[in-house]
Chain A
Amino acid sequence: MNRRRLNRARDAAGPLLISIIAWAVLVYLVLPLAVVIAISFTTTEYLAFPPVGFTLNWYQRFLADPSYVDAILLSGRLAFGSTLIGFLLGVPAALVLKRGRLPGAQMLGNLFLSPLILPAIIIGVGVLQISGTLGFARSFEAMLVGHVVIILPYIVRTTLASLEGFDTSLEEAAQDLGASGFSTFFLVTLPLIKPGIIAGCLFGLIMSWIDVEVSIFNTVIAQSPIPVKVFNYVQYSVDPMIAAVSAGTIYIALILVLLLDRLVGLDKVAGQQK
């Protein structure tokens, strides 16, 4: 009797211990972000944690500074632009790779995914070289083509994954009922792989939004995306205004996470991450 109770206690202790570690790790994951948000409200002129008082002063100051607003708008244009191009290139490519019955489709698929494992800094350097050769070095366009390279794998991979589990008898049923190949795609295939495409595009959008490594080689100081601007600033000084700017990007991350959860479901997305 005692022994059984002991065994049961031991069986319960394991999960309890794991749960405690898990929550400690979760706290570790949230802490730096929470700290950045907290100090963005401080009334002091220097970084103070815990914050002293509460003010939205720093947010006002950064929103009043056109160089920060421009940087955010530039990042937004980059993120949406590269995601749109990535979508237009990546989704058709994934469709052909999965359905085209091509010899070597597997190898070509790996080529599309390879920017994922290549150091982003080398992609940044490479884009600097080619854009120099083609005559648009250090420009919005140079960053755009670089961002498309780094986000294309996300879109291709999630599209491939959603086609992987696709029940082809649904497409046969559509054709059997009179749908042409074209309308089968738009009425059956596309609606069913849409969550995968949305997940891939949202990931792509984020990867562009937070990128430093590719942008930093392909921009000039006067025209920096927001992460590069923060990066250049933080290396030399830190103050509550930069905390407010950083906190702003965290709010956007939260919105995107919630959007992803709403549109696709986070547990489904997680399996397809990197």
Chain B
Amino acid sequence: MPLIAIDRVTKSYGSLQVLKGVSLDIEEGEFVALLGPSGCGKTTLLRAIAGFVDIDTGTIAIGGHSMANEPPNRRPVNMVFQNYALFPHLTVRDNVAFGPRRNGVDKAGIAAIVDPALETVGMAAYADRLPAQLSGGQQQRVALARAIANKPKVLLLDEPLGALDLKLRKRMQMELKHLHQKLGITFLFVTHDQEEALVMADRIVVMQDGGIAQIGTGEDIYARPANRYVADFIGEANLLPLEASADGALRIVGETELLPYLAPDGASAPTLLIRPEEIRIGAAPDGGVGLSGTLTDRVFIGNATRLFVRTASGQSIVIQQAGAGPNDALRTGAQVRIGWAREAARVLTG
């Protein structure tokens, strides 16, 4: 039995349907990311699990119990809010003790919970400060300590790292991952940052327009995206529109060469997905695909070089090569051949 069972949940605000029948099972101990752009319904789904959004239809069960009639204060979940929502009038210690106190833990019990919780996030030295006296990263840690002090079955995190700068965000990503391993409880977090999802989550739920586009591990979703939307959202993608010739063979719109791929059944407008790092300059490998084009730009980005090639049909294709050196003899405006192995590209139908 899954720890969280979400079954055909819908939610509308007026005429706007933000959740269109979402079903999702989350197992105990998992680290799951709800990933998508703003407005895709990910935060609404998280808030529905926490109890702040009343769903229209469908069910949410946690640990086998329906949450339909449970107010937020009686659900076995705790949340790390986007802007932390630390109580400004309470010290760090009292913030963390807030939950256990509500659950009737006695004085000795509170100390036995609060101190280790602050210890876990490295904030024990700040117990008597007020939230306003802490930096953003420190507030983040206190919010975490407060949420885990109640020993929830599920920790919900709403864009937990969104307000931090890049360096701190990267460090907190690893710390959250370690915290998850240490505590062994289920983490469900919402993010619009695909890298954050890839780094932390065991499983990624890509949401699209109030529904789920794909569920899978990071590798799964990157290598085998279900549709153009997912391919475009996770990592960088060259998405080339395809057309079928009379005999069913495919070619890139505007190109004459036929491709070694078969048209999938029933797809009206298939698309070819090829990741930038899979393309090389030069002749295509045996059985692969080759194209001609003009080099329009080259950009050095530190650990790699990106080349932009415009094909005869006007398609712009991005190529990424490790390091700075390769093909540095090529100048913009040069005519080049590019190519990739047959299995490096995928035909998408959605």
Contacts and interface: CB of A to CB of B under 8 A. Distances in A.
A touching B, CB within 8 angstroms: yes
A179 B103 CA distance: 8
B126 to A, nearest CB: 19
Q: Which of A178, A181, A188, A192 has the most CB of B within 10 A?
A: A178
B89 A176 contact: no
Interface in A170-205: 170, 172-181, 183, 187-188, 191-192
B73 interface: yes
Interface string B68-95: 0001111001110111011111000000
A153 B102 CA distance: 36
B149 to A, nearest CB: 8
Nearest to A191: B89
A169 B81 CA distance: 7
Contacts of A173: 79, 81, 85-87, 146
B87 A176 contact: no
B229 interface: no
B88 A176 contact: no
B50 interface: yes
B308 interface: no
Contacts of B99: 177-178
Interface residues of B, number: 25
A176 B102 contact: no
The bracket for how many chain A residues form the interface is 10 to 19
Given A183-B102, A191-B89, A192-B89, A176 B83 contact: no
A209 to B, nearest CB: 30
A11 interface: no
B271 interface: no
A268 B88 CA distance: 17
B83 A175 contact: no
A45 interface: no
Given A175-B71, A176-B72, A177-B150, A170 B85 contact: yes
Contacts of B50: 172, 176
B98 interface: yes
A101 B265 CA distance: 52
A167 interface: yes
B300 interface: no
Contacts of A169: 81-83, 85
Closest 7 pairs between A and B when the two form their complex, measured CB to CB: A178-B102, A177-B99, A173-B85, A169-B85, A175-B72, A175-B73, A191-B89
